[in-house]
Amino acid sequence: MTAPTTAPAGPAGPAGAGPWLGTRPWLIRRLVVLLTATVLACGALFTAYYGVSRGADEVPGRTIPAMGYVDGAETALRQSLAAAKTALNSPAAPAEGPGEEYKAKLNAAFRSLEKAAATTVADGGRNDLDTVAGQLSSYDYLIGQAAHSRAASGRADERLRDTYLRYADSTLNREKSGILPRLEAVQHEQARVLAAQTSPGRLLKTAWGVAVALWAVLVWLLADTQRFLRRRFRRRFNGPLAGATLLVAALVPLLLPAADQLQDDLDWARGHRVSGGGETASEHLAATHWLTIVPAGILLAAVVAAALVVLGLQPRIEEYRFARVPQRPGRRIRSFEAATVLLALWLVLLSAVGAGDVRTVHNGRISVLATWTDAEQERFQALLDAYAAKYHVSVDYQGTTALREVLLSRLNAGNPPDIAILPSLGEVRAYLKETPRPRKLGPVLGETLNAYGPLWAPRFGDEVYAVAVKADLKSIVWYDPARGQSPRALAARGGGQWCAGMGGDGTSGWPGTDWVEDILLQQSGTEAYEKWARGELPWTEGPVRDAWEAFGGIFTKGPAAAALDSDWGQNFLTSKHCALQHQASFARDAGYTGHAAFAPTREVLPDIARRPAATEVSADYATLFAEEGSKRGDAAEDLLRFLTTRQAQEVWASALSKEEKQRKIKTHPGRPFFVTAGAPRPDPRAERVNAAIDEALGGPRPKCLDASDVMPLRMRFAFQHGVLDYLSDPGPEKQRQVLDYLEDVRKELRGASGAAAPRVCT
């Protein structure tokens, strides 16, 4: 095609030039504007519609099924407990145990949890559900112990059976940290996500407003261009441009009803999820599922419309190809530049949409597992929040008393915590045989380890795998000076004066092991104590048997029954029935720090003080499981180093629980105690009890770690069960049975392979 010999009438150009002078630049500019407007308008419509249609896929395909799986697990677990109680109270219990219905319901709960973990939309839901899976192992263990409870005659030991059933019930229902409350927390988070997916929030409404406005501008530009071409080139219609106009004009009238239909379906799905019913969200949305592919149609319509615009304007631009239009070098606008602009804009748009659609992998999120729950968890969370604020890394904390079962479950599931804070060296020792195993801390902490004594950074062989982040004082008895009687005088009245509780969910029985350990340490000294902890002393004779006899002298039938029926965390200050409590320093609350006092056990029970004074202590040890060299691994190493700093210790020591804040308590009743020389110390004028504990921990008296914490895990669990078994029917015959059982376990474990036991006493 050749350029016209006479330029068509059109918009005037610059002064002194022909009327054709401004036509070509105007057409090219309009082409660029139309292509840009097409990208923006269709991109906005795509984004707005996708905001609705995405939920139509995710809600029935993932969110509601995930919530259903959690519902199924909760229902199955409640039914399992009821089935176990019914079966274990029936005449067939000796042969059938907890029964087939219990096993079926427990298996159903495990299957539901596996599916829930694979589909959960809750923030941190995978870690919560893996924790629940571990707690289920502890729950099943307690039910099994209830089923196996037998008296010396071979008949069911009803007291011990009921005790284990109560502990299982507590594991299931304990407020905040129990299995069912944890599942309810996951469900609450998933409900929040469902509401966000199904509710047209302000952002989505704004997106629709912007999209419709851009669409209206594009329609106007197309119509205006059509009018100009008809005046300028004397042609009634520009076919391609008219087609683009009709195509674009039809978008919003078609999209709005489709989006409204999808939104109605999503509203139904949310309401149906709340109220329940027979029809599933997937079934309800099946009839309109085809509407979820509309976003692809929007992209196709945009490409077609852009092509039609180019087809409509390019020939008109070509008619002026040979026009002598003076332009500055480097400023000439060519039609291929318009195509380049179009391609670039589409790439930017699609990249943005794709990036927004991909689920974020939180390289900046690490997980921590420990035993602290309730107020202890709230205080530790303040420390984690301080770390997150300093290093801009999110930390997901999981607290459970069934830490052993939870950690093994997560290791087996391929989802280990980045940091696990373990309550015993026996557990550290056991995990050195697992995969993945705790990492060596020498390369991570370096010279920082020099600030820790041998009990607090123990060596397994020549390597350090764990470091104490807090410590507690044992070998003490709490009493209330306001009652006007010395603790020794109260103890002389008999075991009824002791507020002793053995309940602790999956670890029930450990308060009794503390009693036996403390008695043995005071009676037989540190050398015998360390040999016993290492498995070198028999349970059936000598120091161990003597300690059990002294324990039995305190916990006769009445006190033993009360101990089995109570949890360890009871507050003796508010009890009218007991006045003394043999418990570690972590038992403190505001009442303890405000009113209580403590004395060494040997001073309260002078008959057991046969050797030089020594103190039993315990610690919580941080271990590192995060993969070395990964972003999460680097963040976990930073957190571990942070836990050993004075800054972290000061934050932790000054943190208050929610209840303490509400009551405006300033004495830091649950502050942790640290074992490094430069750690913050409590002010004795403001924190009398805390200062006394801190002084005892740092004093010259010999110290020994909790013996059961050092024992192999099987021995420790047998010890805990042995305490409960003994208390169910205290007396010489039951003691003999229990000690024979524990001795058999010791002999089986003697010589077992594994890392060398760490040091027990200073």
Domain boundary at 158, 179, 197, which? 197
If asked whether residues 595 and 636 sit together in one domain, one would say no
Residue 690 located in a structural domain: no
Task: Give tens-digit pLDDT for 543-568.
Answer: 999 999 999 999 999 999 999 998 88
The Cα–Cα gap between 229 and 136 comes to 75
If asked whether residues 135 and 111 sit together in one domain, one would say yes
Residue carrying the six token digits 């329940």: 276
Task: Give tens-digit pLDDT for 411-446.
Answer: 888 889 999 999 999 899 989 988 889 999 999 999
* Closest listed residue to residue 121, CA positions, set 44, 47, 68, 46: 68
Q: What percent of the chain has pLDDT over 70?
A: 88
Q: How confident is the model at residue 156 (pLDDT cuts 50, 70, 90)?
A: low
* 467: three-class secondary structure by DSSP: strand
If asked whether residues 534 and 626 sit together in one domain, one would say no
Residue 34 located in a structural domain: yes
Q: What's the gap between Cα 744 and its chain centre?
A: 39
If asked whether residues 385 and 428 sit together in one domain, one would say yes
Residue 679 located in a structural domain: no
* Closest listed residue to residue 335, CA positions, set 314, 315, 309, 307: 314
Domain count for the chain, please give it.
4
Residue 685 located in a structural domain: no
Residue 759 located in a structural domain: no
If asked whether residues 743 and 631 sit together in one domain, one would say no
If asked whether residues 290 and 191 sit together in one domain, one would say no
Per-residue pLDDT at 446: 94
Question: Between 3 and 750, whose confidence is greater?
Answer: 750
Per-residue pLDDT at 346: 56
Per-residue pLDDT at 625: 96
If asked whether residues 346 and 254 sit together in one domain, one would say yes
If asked whether residues 97 and 142 sit together in one domain, one would say yes
* 517: three-class secondary structure by DSSP: helix
The Cα–Cα gap between 715 and 708 comes to 8
If asked whether residues 610 and 622 sit together in one domain, one would say no
Residue 762 located in a structural domain: no
Are β-strands 467-473 and 459-460 bridged in parallel, bridged antiparallel, or unpaired?
unpaired
Give the domain CATH number at 115. Answer: 1.20.1440
Give the domain CATH number at 597. Answer: 3.40.190.10
Residue 341 located in a structural domain: yes
Weakest-pLDDT range from 301-305, 546-550, 664-668: 664-668
The Cα–Cα gap between 384 and 651 comes to 9
Task: Give tens-digit pLDDT for 233-249.
Answer: 776 778 899 999 999 99
Domain boundary at 163, 197, 231, which? 197
Domain boundary at 181, 197, 213, which? 197
How does DSSP classify residue 482? G
Average pLDDT, the chain: 86
Task: Give tens-digit pLDDT for 359-382.
Answer: 333 346 899 999 998 899 999 999
Please determine, for residue 265, whether its predicted confidence score (pLDDT) is greater than 50.
Answer: yes
If asked whether residues 466 and 478 sit together in one domain, one would say no
If asked whether residues 310 and 221 sit together in one domain, one would say yes
The Cα–Cα gap between 451 and 461 comes to 19
* Closest listed residue to residue 322, CA positions, set 552, 2, 635: 2
The Cα–Cα gap between 3 and 18 comes to 15
Q: How confident is the model at residue 328 (pLDDT cuts 50, 70, 90)?
A: very low
Answer for the pair 341, 33: CB distance below 8 angstroms, yes or no: no
Give, for 464, the enclosing helix (H) or strand (E).
strand 463-464
Q: What's the gap between Cα 234 and its chain centre?
A: 71
Whether the ω angle into residue 436 lies within 30 degrees of 0, i.e. cis, is yes
Per-residue pLDDT at 22: 73
If asked whether residues 605 and 721 sit together in one domain, one would say yes
Residue carrying the six token digits 């020939």: 315
Residue 761 located in a structural domain: no
- Domain span at residue 255? 23-61+200-324+334-354
